[in-house]
């Protein structure tokens, strides 16, 4: 029993030590900074991300789908470069990250980011939604916000902590493997998926501010999700890792007045 108690105390100490935050708060989110569980090292996450990014690009290149020049690539590249200097508002070290963008020629309405600032856009999101530069900035800001907030690292840490808790709880209570598996399923529904939705909402707000600071119209975030809504989607929100389009647009509309002065100042400075 003493060994079990020690294991629980050690696990609790590990979780407490992992609580931190690597970025300042966002004006769009009310200026408050949320503490994050960061048990996994930043370097480990970046190394794994780079492996995936390189593999993705090799495969796209071999299929003739990797775009690194031309009008479409230049548009998204220009938006990224305009946003990068403003990441210092949230974390100064991020300005020095090796930010990189690739465009993949696929009819996929998507974009994603890897830890450390490796961004992927798909031509499908540009062409099917007929994105304006302001709307590209809304997408780009959202993806860059995921990297700034280290959401991949946080999600990996959360998953590790949840698995540790289930393992210790099962041992303490003498639960069988079947019961532990049910607990894991419950953890996914009650913790992992809603937490992913929270990260998406957070990236929306940080990205909104980032785009505004770079002089892109914040209202484009709303028109972006209105366009996304026309594509439809399946499954109830509680089983999704993304908020519903209605919830997203409502949150963005509420935050736009907070970042509009930043946009106006940036626009005046670019004249």
Active-site residue list: 143
**Residue 128, SS3 per DSSP:** helix
Count of H helices and E strands in the chain?
Answer: 10, 6
- Pairing between β-strand 118-122 and β-strand 100-104 as defined by DSSP bridges: parallel
Question: Is residue 225 within 8 Å of 243, Cβ to Cβ?
Answer: no
CA distance 42 to 36: 13
Question: Whats the size of the chain, residue-wise?
Answer: 271
- C-alpha dihedral (176, 189, 164, 34), degrees to nearest 10: -160
CA 252 to chain centre: 16
């Amino acid at each position: 029993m003493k060994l079990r108690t020690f294991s629980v105390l050690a696990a609790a100490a590990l979780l407490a030590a992992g609580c931190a935050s690597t970025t300042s708060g966002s004006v769009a989110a009310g200026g408050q900074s949320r503490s994050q569980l960061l048990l996994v090292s930043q370097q480990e996450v970046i190394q794994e991300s780079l492996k995936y990014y390189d593999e993705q690009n090799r495969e796209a290149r071999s299929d003739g789908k990797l775009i690194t020049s031309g009008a479409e690539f230049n548009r998204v590249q220009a938006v990224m470069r305009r946003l990068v200097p403003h990441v210092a508002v949230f974390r100064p070290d991020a300005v020095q990250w090796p930010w990189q963008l690739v465009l993949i020629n696929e009819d996929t309405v998507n974009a994603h980011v890897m830890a450390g600032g490796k961004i992927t856009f798909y031509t499908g999101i540009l062409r099917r939604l007929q994105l304006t530069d302001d709307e590209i900035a809304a997408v780009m800001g959202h993806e860059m916000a995921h990297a700034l907030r280290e959401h991949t690292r946080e999600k990996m840490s959360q998953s590790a902590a949840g698995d540790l808790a289930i393992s210790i709880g099962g041992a303490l209570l003498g639960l069988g493997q079947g019961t532990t598996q049910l607990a894991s399923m419950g953890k996914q529904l009650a913790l992992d998926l809603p937490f992913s939705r929270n990260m998406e909402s957070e990236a929306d707000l940080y990205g909104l501010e980032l785009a505004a600071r770079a002089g892109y119209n914040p209202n484009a975030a709303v028109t972006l999700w209105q366009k996304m809504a026309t594509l439809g989607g399946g499954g109830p929100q509680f089983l999704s890792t993304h908020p519903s389009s209605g919830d997203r647009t409502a949150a963005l509309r509420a935050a736009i007045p907070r970042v509009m002065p930043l946009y106006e100042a940036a626009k005046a400075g670019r004249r």
